[in-house]
Every structure is written in structure tokens, then in C-alpha cells.
Structure 1
Amino acid sequence: MRANSKLGVLLVLISGLLWVAVLAVPFLAVTVATKAAIVTSLIVTSEVAFWLGILLAGKELAQRYRRMLNPYYWWQRVTNRH
């Protein structure tokens, strides 16, 4: 795997972690306006990291991961094991 591909995958993973971090924001002891600013910045940063990661990872790697993350293929793997 090329260095750009590794960086791309890392950015996609960071993007997912930033989306999970959004779920923790309501529990912070800050004002509502601050929470809104934090959520907005997390979402924007997450989207930028995701799309930059996809660009760096390349088309083939993006298609492979998209297929692996598709619930339809999860179901196919479960039902075909019997």
C-alpha cells in the first residue's frame, strides 16, 4: 500500500472518530452556543478529512472499503455461510 493510501485510510478513520465525538458534545459542561460551535466544527472537519482521505486513498481502495461497509454485503456473507 502506498504512503498516500495509508494516509487516506487514516483520514477516513479519523473522520469516523470525529463523528463519534459529536455524540459526546451534549454532555460537555459548556453553553449551548459553544456546543453548537463544537458540533459544527467537528462535522465540517470530519467531512473534509473523509473526502481528502478518499482522494488520497484512490478509487480502487475507496470502492473496496465502500463494499466492505455496505450492510447488504454483510447480510450476504451471513446468509451464505449456512
Structure 2
Amino acid sequence: MEHRHREAIRKNWTFLLENLIVDELMDFLISHSILTENMKEEVEIQRTRREKATQLLFIVQKRGPQAFQTLVDGLKECQMGFIAERLEQAV
């Protein structure tokens, strides 16, 4: 992931933690090879929704050059387009 993409996530960190619906998004990210089953389990063992979102964001930031765009596409696909728009505007 490019530095500018990580910065967009960092600038919107609190907004992301408050609004992400992690379970729906994870299946999309798995189907696009951004997450593995093991990574999904790392997220699922977290206790709260906020902790799950935190873990997911930490993982996604390390998943290569296509991770940001795939995250944005997944947000749109999973009815979280308002989050995708905010991230795209922050880049």
C-alpha cells in the first residue's frame, strides 16, 4: 500500500472504527486475495466491533499495492460507499 493510502486511513482512523461493518467486508477481501482465512480468524477473535475493525485495518495496510483500492471497492460493494468516498477524498 502506498504511503498516501496509509495516510488516508490514518487521517480517518476514528471514523473508520466507528463505521466499518467488518464481517461483511472480510468476505469481500478474502474473495479478492487481500485477506487469508488465518487473517480473518485474527480479526474474528477480537472481542468488540471496534477491536475487529482495528485489527482489520492493521492487516489491510500491509497487504500490498492493490489493498487500498480493493478496500475501497469492498466498501462500495458492501453498502458502505460513504466510507469509500471519504477515503478516496483523503488521498
TM above 0.5, one fold?
A: no
TM-score under structure 1 length normalisation: 0.32
TM-score under structure 2 length normalisation: 0.30
Q: Point out the structure with max Rg over C-alpha.
A: 1
Q: Looking at secondary structure, tell me which structure has more helix per residue.
A: 1
